[in-house]
Structure 1
Amino acid sequence: MDNSFRQFLDTYLDIWRNSPLTELSQLISKDYKAREITGENIVDFGYEESINGWEQGFNFVKENNAQWILNEISVIPLRIDEKSVILSATMIVQGKSLETSNLFFQTFKKNNFDDWKLVRNYVEVGVLNDNLNRIHFN
């Protein structure tokens, strides 16, 4: 894996775990596009809606003294300047792990300034953790 991307991804995940919105917003492209699936509901959104969603999530973590649990499932090179990452995210709230996770398919692209940015995201909300524990990649 590209060393600059590995460093970026580690930084991105650390920022996510620590919940500073200002830092995270700098890692998301202004041209960001996303789709979130919750049961039968499908929502498409862009940068501004994403920042609002992150803010709500980060506030929830802080207000409930919760902790993010992030699991890197796979990193897939798409092109020399583009990588796709599959992640699961759940939380520990009041000492108890949630029974579900959100499954993220995130695409990062290197911009003209040689910086990696999150450009696309597809999220499956409420996946049972037991189902995620069965995932095996070669």
Structure 2
Amino acid sequence: MEDFHVFINHYLAKWKAADVEFIENLIDDTFQGMEVRDGSISSYGKESSVTGWKQAFAYFKDKKMEWVLTPISILPLNEKDIMAIIKATMTLDGKLIKTSNLFFQTFTMKNGKWRLIRSYEETGVTNL
């Protein structure tokens, strides 16, 4: 578990740095994702996930934006799988935006490395 805490801090730093190569390599080929946006549910795999990360990072590249990533909880699911619940929002021009996305991400240890295998995302969660 201590190993996972080191990993998750590294992961969040790479996310903040918009390191799409790291994210792409982290997502397992068996990845399954689900997103709820404006009441609509969509499912996606690794290819769509990587495309989404690339688009998000590219969109904000030249903007005065900073990610605000808050780990909410880390839950061991079994001997090799751990779920991290992460609240993700951002500041634009130094001001916190009005909404966050809540990520429930499941990681597994595979060949000595943590891999992202599942993600469930609630978008548009109001920032208080």
The bucket for the TM-score relative to the shorter chain is: over 0.9
TM-score (norm 1): 0.89
Residues 67-112 of structure 1, C-alpha deviations (whole Å, 9 max, x = no match):
100010000010111100111101111121101000000000011x
Q: Give the root-mean-square deviation of aligned CA atoms.
A: 0.9
Aligned to 1:68: 67
- Report what 1:128 is aligned to: 126
1:1-138 equivalences in 2 (<5 Å): 2-111=1-110, 113-130=111-128
Which ranges of structure 1 fall in alignment gaps of 5 or more residues? 131-138
**1:12–1:27: 8 Å Cα contact kept in structure 2?**
no
1:33 and 1:119 in contact (8 A); partners too: yes
| TM-aligned CA deviation for residue 38 of structure 1 | 0.7
List, as ranges, runs of 4+ consecutive aligned residues in structure 1 with deviation greater than 6 Å. Answer: none
User: Which deviates more, 84-93 or 60-69?
Assistant: 60-69
Q: CA deviation at 1:39?
A: 1.8
**How many residue pairs end up in the alignment?**
128
Deviation larger for 54-63 or 9-18? 54-63
**Counterpart Cα distance in 2 of 1:60 and 1:87:** 21
Contact 1:67 1:91 in 2 (8 A): yes
* Bigger shift: residues 42-51 or 56-65: 56-65
| Cα distance between partner residues in 1 of 2:70 and 2:59 | 20
Q: Which runs of 5+ in 2 are unaligned?
A: none
Q: Distance in 2 between matches of 1:91 and 1:81?
A: 31
8 Å contact 2:32–2:44 — kept in the other structure?
yes
What secondary structure sits across from 1:19 in the alignment? coil
Query: Which deviates more from structure 2 when the two are superposed, residues 113-122 or residues 53-62?
Result: 53-62
The answer to whether the Cα contact below 8 Å between 1:34 and 1:45 also exists between their aligned partners in 2 is yes
Q: CA deviation at 1:24?
A: 1.4
User: Which residue number corresponds to residue 136 of structure 1?
Assistant: none
